[in-house]
Amino acid sequence: MKPVMISQGHDDHSADERGIFLTSSGVEVNTEPLTGPLKSLGPVKVETVSQTCFEPLWDHLVKEHHYLSYQKLLGRRLKYLAFLGERPAAALSFSAPALKLRARDRFIGWSDEQRKAFLDRMVNNSRFLIMPWVQVSCLASQVLSLAVKRLPEDWEQRFHTPLWIVETFVDPSRFKATSYRAANWQFAGYTYGSAKQGPGYTYHGSIKEVYLYVLDPRFREHIGCRQQPYCPAIGPSHQKKWEGQHMMIQGWHPGQVPCVDLTEEDVEAMANELVAFHQMFLDCYGRVEHHRLGEAYLSGLMSNLNAKSAEPIALGLLGVKGVRPLQRFMKSYLWDDRDMEAKHQALLSDAISCPGGMITIDSSEFLKKGKESVGVYRQYCGRYGKVENCQSGVFIGYASDKGYGLLSARLYMPNIWFSKSYEQRRKDTLAPEDLTFKTKQEIALELIHNIAKTGLFTSQWLGCDATFGADSEVLQSLPEGLCYFANIRSNMRVFLQ
């Protein structure tokens, strides 16, 4: 046990009650192993030690055992020690947040001016340490929860400023962030891999995961902003790494093409074209690993696998260890879908746009057995012509003498999904917080007008089935100069002029 000098201060507990022993040379901490079930080891207490006689102890423990050691914390700060029973078990600190953080700033949705005005409503969980002699399951998430629970009151009492959000960085090469996720922190994205040095920033290539904890759910109302999609950036060293390691699609075989015999050279050429196509979208992804996962999923969709869901694709192209990463990639890893769609439309426009083209609207359904997929509900399924448990979407296409392709699409969310009873299910499926109910007709009009604004697709006609053609408001609200060829229901009355 190493002696730790502490200065005199004021605290509600005497030192010898805490497994910290006063000696003539300072203080000694009991470092005997602490293991066992959490409930059997006494209550967990989290207490602030800033400006108390225990602050030097906090400094010593963090400097001695935290992988970042102890450096002077920036700006305002609070330090906490967590006691398990009567022994110190963890140390935390909260201090100034990052000035700029792409993932966080897009999650919040504030402008540069708003960020400067309200940055003091944020705080960074700059240190979190479970003592190395403590091996207690679930302790870390319990400590985090208790600390965050008392943090707003402690911070406002000390600095007279309310807090809205807590941020933290997790090094994925060292930690899995299990305790943060268990304590209901939200994954927001990744850092760029740079650090502030003097007046500017220096790229160091150590990318961290960003987790956020929202203390005030109405923070966007206070700021006057809306959440933005996360558009990650890739540092130069990671781009070089990707170029050297990107997945070679060995054993990849496209689906059988009728009346076409494919040679090995044909397959290799197609695989190379697929890789080149995928690379056009690299800046829409986050980490380098996401490039590989995105390429694998695209390759799987184009392959002759019997099932095209995440698990069989991962088993076929990435191996057993790739199953969970690909599933997480499809559910919770974020990419800039708007930028992807814009790039896709620009490429498609060059290939098929020409005068006299036709925009098409259609809804399509996908059968589901369970009830947990986003937007799933018993609704009309066009594929079977009856009500089934399914997802439904609105799809906008384009056809011309040069060819045809999909321009845009959006999932239809039934009105019941916006009810109180579906609130938890919306959170579980990561539905956007600002999403509101819209009919399929409203979704179609919005997508069509968005496409018209791009000016990429010269269109004379619009074609649709009775779902949209029987709605006169849809036909009357189309972009100017667009004629329609629309189906109507058999019992609809019409009048000829």
CB atoms within 10 A of CB 429: 15
Q: Looking at residue 196, what is its pLDDT? A: 58
Q: Looking at residue 195, what is its pLDDT? A: 60
282, 336 contact by CB (below 8 A): no
Q: Looking at residue 161, what is its pLDDT? A: 94
Q: Looking at residue 123, what is its pLDDT? A: 96
Residues in the chain where the model's pLDDT stays below 70: 1-28, 72, 192-206, 229-262, 264
Q: Looking at residue 381, what is its pLDDT? A: 92
- Mean residue pLDDT of the chain comes to 82
Domains 3-223 and 347-486 share a fold: no
CB atoms within 10 A of CB 84: 22
Length of the chain: 497
Q: Looking at residue 252, what is its pLDDT? A: 52
Q: Domain extents for the chain?
A: 3-223, 236-331, 347-486
Q: Give the separation between CA 155 and CA 96, rounded to whole angstroms.
A: 12
Written as six digits, the tokens of 141 are 């998430």
Q: Which of 210, 200, 204 is nearest to 108 (CA)?
A: 210
Written as six digits, the tokens of 360 are 């098409």
Q: Looking at residue 339, what is its pLDDT? A: 86
Q: Can you name the residues that pair with 379 across neighbouring β-strands?
A: 388
Q: Looking at residue 202, what is its pLDDT? A: 55
Pairing relationship of beta strands 78-84 and 44-48 according to DSSP bridges = antiparallel
Q: What are phi and psi of 438, to 5 degrees?
A: -140, 140
294, 310 contact by CB (below 8 A): no
Cα torsion 301, 303, 307, 311: sign: negative
Give the global pTM.
0.51
151, 47 contact by CB (below 8 A): no
Q: Give the separation between CA 336 and CA 330, rounded to whole angstroms.
A: 13
Q: What would the DSSP string read from start to end of 56-87?
A: HHHHHHHHHHSTT---PPPSS-EEEEEEETTE
Q: Which of 396, 397, 407, 479 is nearest to 440 (CA)?
A: 396
The rounded Cα 329 to chain-centroid distance in angstroms is: 9
Pairing relationship of beta strands 34-35 and 194-197 according to DSSP bridges = unpaired
The SS3 of residue 214 is strand
The SS3 of residue 216 is coil
Q: Looking at residue 444, what is its pLDDT? A: 95
Amino acid type, 101: L
Amino acid type, 224: G
Q: Give the separation between CA 272 and CA 291, rounded to whole angstroms.
A: 15
List, in order, residues 6 or more apart from 275 with CB less than 8 Å away. 246, 249, 295
The CATH class for the domain spanning 3-223 reads alpha beta
Q: Looking at residue 68, what is its pLDDT? A: 83
pLDDT single digits (tens) 200-227:
555 555 678 899 999 999 999 999 998 8
Q: Give the separation between CA 91 and CA 78, rounded to whole angstroms.
A: 11
32, 133 contact by CB (below 8 A): yes
Written as six digits, the tokens of 77 are 């700060």
- Terminal Cα-to-Cα distance of the chain (whole angstroms): 98
The rounded Cα 10 to chain-centroid distance in angstroms is: 44
Pairing relationship of beta strands 34-35 and 134-135 according to DSSP bridges = parallel
Select 347-486's CATH number: 3.30.160, 2.30.30, 1.25.40, 3.30.420. 3.30.420
CB atoms within 10 A of CB 464: 24
